[in-house]
Amino acid sequence: MSDEPQQAPQAHPTPQAHPTPQVPVPAQPSGPAPVGQPAQLSAADRVRLAAQARGETDYIFNYWTALGWSILTLGIYGFYVFYQLIRRMRDHNARRLELLEAATAVAREQAGKRGLQQELEPSFQRAEAQLAVMRQMTFDFRDPIIWVLLAIIAGVAEIIGFVLLDQDLIKHERAEAGVENELSVIYGRLGQHVPAPQQGAVKSPDNYVGRVLASIFTFGIYLFWWLYNQMQEPNRHFTMNWTQEDALVQAVAAVG
């Protein structure tokens, strides 16, 4: 027997002298959204979820542990370290962009409801200009797998990666601090305290030429110090972010 259900036989209509007109059936209300298409999150929920995702993006290095494993594996673990250096900066920027964009959307909505939109519009525009910088960074060539492959093929790729990572951190910190400063003003006007970024939060650029020359003249030994900086400077940046974004999450919940 076939596993397919049997089709009900079609009834043959009986001829009628005056056929009954067909009455159109009203369309049934649509059902729930198909599986795999979740309902759109509110801006406040986006803020909360972005803050919760910090454990997935903000990888904190322990330099001595990483160095020990690199030595024990004859340098193989070092490629994993390089992978994480690239990945965490890329993913951290994307997460912070999501959080700050959503927090700005919440503030804009509340400003409109309270009649403060015109007063705060300059702050919103300045915040958007800095968000655009962070948004543009998501299009930079920072695929960690490809960068690791380049490092395996040519070791100089790691030095290039260190330079780009330092530049990324500076650009990210500068744009992020600009948004945080404006949100501090905006949420203050909405009755919530959000701390402004600390003075001097944006690091200065490395002396790239000096670092490269030091690496050459010390036969690569200086690279261990450069690697330490590549781990610790983002570590510091991440932990500073957490304090500020916890206050921002609370402010968003309060105004919403």
The share of the chain scoring above pLDDT 90, in percent, equals 81
d(CA 102, CA 253): 12
Domain presence at residue 59:
yes
Q: Choose among 202, 159, 158: nearest CA to 178.
A: 202
pLDDT at 32: 44
Q: Is residue 4 part of a domain?
A: no
Count how many domains the chain has: 1
- Is residue 80 domain-resident? yes
Residue with tokens 């400003």: 111
Has residue 68 been placed in a domain? Answer: yes
Containing domain of residue 146, as a range?
Answer: 43-255
Question: Which amino acid appears at position 75 of this protein?
Answer: G
Residue 26 lies in a domain: no
Taking residues 149-172, what's their average pLDDT?
96
Identify the pLDDT of residue 198. Answer: 80
Q: Tens of pLDDT along 231-246?
A: 999 999 999 999 999 9
Residue 8, pLDDT > 80, answer no
Minimum mean pLDDT among 21-25, 67-71, 211-215: which range? 21-25
Structural domain includes residue 102: yes
Q: How far apart are the first and last CA of the chain?
A: 61
Residue 17 has pLDDT above 80, yes or no: no
Residue range 186-218, pLDDT digits in tens? 999 999 999 998 876 788 999 999 999 999 999
Q: Is the predicted pLDDT of residue 11 greater than 70, yes or no? A: no
Structural domain contains residue 22: no
Which pTM value belongs to this model? 0.83
pLDDT recorded at residue 39: 66
Residues 226, 162 contacting (CB under 8 angstroms) = yes
Q: What is the mean pLDDT of residues 158-186?
A: 96
Q: Residue 87: its pLDDT value, please?
A: 98
Q: Which residue has the higher pLDDT, 185 or 4?
A: 185
7 located within any domain: no
> What is the SS3 string spanning the chain?
CCCCCCCCCCCCCCCCCCCCCCCCCCCCCCCCCCCCCCCCCCHHHHHHHHHHCHHHHCCCCCHHHHHHHHHHCCCHHHHHHHHHHHHHHHHHHHHHHHHHHHHHHHHHHHHHHCCCHHHHHHHHHHHHHHHHHHHHHCCCCCCHHHHHHHHHHCCHHHHHHHHHHHHHHHHHHHHHHHHHHHHHHHHHHCCCCCCCCCCCCCCCCCCHHHHHHHHHHCCCCHHHHHHHHHHHHHHHHHHHHHHHHHHHHHHHHHHC
Contacts of 159 (CB under 8 A, 6+ apart): 212, 215, 223
The answer on pLDDT for 248 being more than 80 is yes
